[in-house]
Amino acid sequence: MSEMMVLDHSGDTRIIWDSESAAETKAAREHFESLMAKQYLAFRAEGKDGLKGDQIKKFDPSAERLILVPRMVGG
C-alpha cells in the first residue's frame, strides 16, 4: 500500500492506493496531477520516520509515501 498526504489550509488529507490495482493507481495519479497543476510541491518520503526522500515532479506509483504541499507565497 502507498500513501499520499496532502497538507494544506484544511489540515491533511490521506489518499491510500494499492499499486497492484490499476484503478486505484489511476485515481491517485489523477489527484497528484491535479495538485501539481495547482503548483503544489511533491516529495517522496522513505522509511517510517520519513527522513529520507527527495522532491519529485512526476507521480511514482511505487512510492511508499508522497507528501504534497502548496507553494509558499511571500512578498
Kindly list the averaged pLDDT for each block of 10 residues, start to end, along the chain of length 75: 92 93 97 97 84 90 94 76
What's 38-62 look like in SS3? CCEEEEEEECCCCCEEEEECCCCCC
Distance CA 26, CA 31 (A): 9
pLDDT at 50: 64
pLDDT at residue 21, rounded to an integer: 96
Confidence at residue 53, expressed as pLDDT on a 0 to 100 scale? 82
CATH topology of domain 2-70: Ubiquitin-like (UB roll) (3.10.20)
pTM: 0.87
Q: Output the pLDDT for position 52.
A: 77
pLDDT of residue 18: 95
* Residue 31 backbone phi and psi in degrees, to 5: -65, -45
* CA–CA separation, 26 and 48 (whole Å): 25
